[in-house]
Structure 1
Amino acid sequence: MSRPTPRPHPAEPHPGRFAGAFARYFAATRPAFLSVTLVACLIGLASAWRSGAGIDAATAVITVLFALVAHAGVNVVNDYHDALSGADAANTERLHPFTGGSRFIQNGVLTAAQAGRFGHALLAAVIPAGLWLAWQAGPGLLLIGAGGLFAGWAYSAPPLKLMSRGLGELAIAAGWLLVVVGSDYVQRGSFAALPAIAGLSYALLVANLLFINQFPDHAGDAAAGKNTLVVKLGPQVAKWGYLLIAIVAYGWLVGMSGNGTLPQKTAAAAMTLVLSFSAGRELLEHAAAPTELGPAIKRTILAANLHGLILAGALAFS
């Protein structure tokens, strides 16, 4: 017997909510969640500034703009593949707008075909901008850009479907670390260790956001054969992974600032561990009751964004 289609929540998108095509397609990119990419770009720019590279306003703006376009494309492509697999349709425990996808396809705002074309068009639009930036900064940016697009595509698209192999967190951490490294490279014109060292704790906290979102999505993912880490391990075992990722992230930052690899003031970004650990405590308590995880997810989003902003400020001005 087939599973019933979950009824739309009143806050979810519906066809009558949008005044026109532009508003509909723009909202489908989930713009409220693009802040993690903006912050990653700021960390990269701050890293270049600290190293003495002058910031070129034009290339900096284009870098940020098309990093956001790439993230938007990944969001829409992920919704498309989750619609094809049935994972979002089977998700009855979603916490909109944080988990369960954008619901644009499931609620009839866009067809799966429209979402697929739009998402891939956004990713394709990044390529000419990336080529122009590589011409300005250096050919190494081609490797960074190709790696970032690959991570975003492979996260949800077959045949790799890294999220369905328990490798989604690795792809997310790698993708957002590449945003930091790429933003630095455009200004510096060469590879350097600093942006990778500085950006790792932030990239791990972004991966933790994906991780905690998998708990409300657990039942729908399992029904669709989407074997995320939470599906593979089960919520009661997987819940400890959140604290493990957070400990590695904050331990890395404190260690690198303590030994002088990063400026001492970057350790101030570790203050956000209060948010991460309180969210982790709630996850330990409510892993089997994911409808209770809304506050923990919000704190995880705040922890990642605030951590990155403090880190960028300390790099730029210390």
Structure 2
Amino acid sequence: MTQPLEPTLAMFQNPFARYFAATRPAFLTASLMACLIGLAVAWHGGAAFDVPMALVTLLFALLAQAGVNVLNDYYDALNGTDAQNTERIFPFTGGSRFIQNGVMTQAEMRNFGFALMAGVAVAGLWLMARSAPQLMYVGLAGLFIGWAYSAPPFRLNSRGLGELCVAAGFLAITVGTDFVQRKGFAAAPFIAGLPYALLVTNLLYINQFPDRTADTAAGKLHWVARLPIQSARWGYSLIVALAYAWLLLGALLDWLPLWSLAAFLALPLSIKAARLLLQHAAQPRQLGEAIKLTIGAMMVHGTLLSLALLLSK
């Protein structure tokens, strides 16, 4: 598989383009989809729809993921995992390479990441003032998870809690988006958002196979690093099974509209990715197609679930 060229300073002479690219904008679609699911849940539940609030919520979510992406690059540069990663599949694994390739310094990435997080705090305070004070709990939880995922002293991913962090973080986006429209908590966004959050978690999970050697050397001991390859490869299939079992249960118990089962059309993508991982887990450089299928499964699932909620109001 031909990989895209890694970034160099010559590619990003324009400071705006450089800082924008450092956020890894192509991957912000994960937060975008989590927001869309939250908005669809609120619409389906009959909440009075506020378009300006929806747009600020979307900005809030995108800034949050951008900040997490940048800070993760910074902390992975500190612990050395990205610098020694020779099995990476760019642009999916091994970080943005901005620090390693001299595009930005560690200090620039650190300052930019915390500036983005400050922007998240401002947007969150505005949303909280316009909706309800309880939104603060969602915002604080999201900020803590995003920072503590890779930052010392917590380094939650290194402690085997990375998958839980990703699932909780993206579920918080869906719940928070619904909260802003509904102005209160409800079970619906938790129920609808969990399968998507699990599929996003699988993107983290499969990305850790190409990074496994470097992460292990740097002490970044997530489950893919802790378990033998032959055991770790089954984790992906388990997460897929949990996601679609929950979706089916939600529809059967009438927690979700029956049309939500249309999201099962994304399942073949996950199955194909799982098969490729089972076959090539020990040859991580051959997992590029499986990673793309994982992203496709996320986006197809989220799109179909959102449409089902919107159209079955």
Q: Work out whether the TM-score is over 0.5.
A: yes
Aligned to 2:119: 125
Whole-Å separation in 2 of the counterparts to 1:236 and 1:124 = 42
1:95 aligns with 2:89: yes
1:277 aligns with 2:267: no
Pick one of 231, 242, 249 that aligns with 2:236. Answer: 242
Whole-Å separation in 2 of the counterparts to 1:188 and 1:316 = 15
1:15 aligns with 2:9: yes
Amino acid at match of 1:70: A
Percent identity over the alignment is: 59
Amino acid at match of 1:99: T
Aligned to 2:18: 24
Aligned to 1:196: 190
Pick one of 303, 307, 311 that aligns with 2:305. Answer: 311
Aligned to 2:45: 51
Q: Are residues 10 and 185 of structure 1, via their aligned partners in 2, closer, same or farther at CA, if it must alter by over 3 Å?
A: closer
Whole-Å separation in 1 of the counterparts to 2:117 and 2:278 = 37
Amino acid at match of 1:51: G
Query: Residue by residue, what CA displacement relative to the aligned partner does 1:230-267 show, whole Å, maximum 9, x if unpaired?
Result: 11113221100000000000010011111211100001
Query: Residue by residue, what CA displacement relative to the aligned partner does 1:138-188 show, whole Å, maximum 9, x if unpaired?
Result: 011100111111111111111111110111000000000000000000000
Query: Residue by residue, what CA displacement relative to the aligned partner does 1:118-152 show, whole Å, maximum 9, x if unpaired?
Result: 01110111111111111111011100111111111
Aligned-partner SS, 2:102: coil
Whole-Å separation in 1 of the counterparts to 2:52 and 2:30 = 21
- Pairwise CA RMSD: 0.9
Gap runs ≥5 in structure 1: 1-8
Contact persistence 2:4–2:91 (CA under 8 A): no
Whole-Å separation in 2 of the counterparts to 1:287 and 1:50 = 41
Whole-Å separation in 2 of the counterparts to 1:232 and 1:123 = 31
Task: Compute the TM-score of the two structures, normalised by the length of structure 2.
Answer: 0.98
Pick one of 168, 180, 195 that aligns with 2:162. Answer: 168
Amino acid at match of 2:202: N
State the 4+ residue runs in structure 1 displaced beyond 4 angstroms. Answer: none
Task: Compute the TM-score of the two structures, normalised by the length of structure 1.
Answer: 0.96
Pick one of 47, 61, 64 that aligns with 1:67. Answer: 61
Shift of 1:10: 6.7
Query: Residue by residue, what CA displacement relative to the aligned partner does 1:74-129 show, whole Å, maximum 9, x if unpaired?
Result: 00000000000000001000000000000000000001111011011101111111
1:215 aligns with 2:185: no
Amino acid at match of 1:203: A
Whole-Å separation in 1 of the counterparts to 2:270 and 2:109 = 33
Whole-Å separation in 1 of the counterparts to 2:160 and 2:12 = 36
